[in-house]
Amino acid sequence: MTDNSDQTTHFGYQTVNKEEKVEKVAEVFHSVAAKYDLMNDLMSMGIHRVWKRHTIACSGARSGNKILDLAGGTGDLTAKFSKIVGSEGQVVLADINESMLKVGRAKLHDMGIVGNVECVQANAEALPFADNTFDVITIAFGLRNVTDKDAALRSMYRVLKPGGRLLVLEFSKPTTEALTKIYDWYSFNLLPNMGKVITNDAESYQYLAESIRMHPDQETLKGMMEEAGFEETSYQNLTGGIVALHKGYKF
């Protein structure tokens, strides 16, 4: 009997071939790219901006740094980092999805942010950068969509400079049963309906809700980061564990 476990993975609650997941995730983000920012504000009631500001505050970013905003999508973190690193620094906005990157590039251009930002289409599992390139790497709400998360964490470790830090902002496991029940009801009832009304795409938001449930919990992700080589790993629960910010260093 052939073991196909290493050829398959999860796409939400479905079990699919790894190549098929890459295509399906791409379809989701091609579909939602144009209204991604609007839906983020509606889905989180604007709280995603607070989570992202907190991530930037914890990054230790400073003038002259080189920063990788991985799975950076429409460029929320890139815009803030660009101001911090200044003309001597650089921010690389990287995303695997061409549609998301196109929206992000246009938004940054409209904001007048062009001089110290580079947009790169890249797969997190095999980053196209030299070893020891970045002072800080952030990945916000992107890791759960990566097919091989372990490979992605190893790739991030490789391109991070010694002394650099990784910050992973991602949906996680609520800390109480009551909050879990409320969150589940919201995710599987309101969220797909919002997607249907705003983007005419309920299925993509059904997947996003399912992908959150399939993502490793706080302790599991912490262990995965340590396995990839990161040290002094820690996490902070935000909004009752609906979101967690993981941090790790390369020494």
Q: What is the pLDDT of residues 120-150, one digit of tens each?
A: 999 999 999 999 999 999 999 999 999 999 9
Domains and CATH numbers, the chain: 14-173+216-249 (3.40.50.150)
pLDDT at 164: 98
**Interval 34-57 mean pLDDT:** 87
Largest CA distance in the chain: 59
Least confident of 28-32, 126-130, 195-199: 28-32
151 is in an annotated binding site: no
123 is in an annotated binding site: yes
Is there a binding annotation on residue 150? no
Helix (H, G, I), strand (E, B) or coil at 221: helix
With 60 as the cut, is the pLDDT of residue 88 above it?
yes
By C-alpha distance, which of 200, 190, 244 is closest to 45? 190
∠ CA 53-173-20, nearest 5°, is 90
Residue 116 has pLDDT above 70, yes or no: yes
Measured between alpha carbons, how far is 187 from 28 in angstroms, rounded to an integer?
17
- Who wins on pLDDT, 81 or 18? 81
Q: Is 74 annotated as a binding residue?
A: yes
Model confidence at 45, pLDDT cuts 50, 70, 90, reads confident
Measure the CA–CA gap between 110 and 230, rounded to whole angstroms.
Answer: 37
- Report whether pLDDT(225) > 50: yes
Report the C-alpha gap between 92 and 77 in whole angstroms. Answer: 11
Give dist(CA 240, CA 174) in Å, integer: 6
3-state secondary structure of 239: helix
Q: In the predicted model, what is the mean pLDDT of the chain? A: 91
Residue with tokens 């790169």, as numbered in its chain: 120
pLDDT surpasses 70 at 5: no
Residue range 57-71, pLDDT digits in tens:
999 999 999 999 999
Q: CA 104 from chain center: how many Å?
A: 14
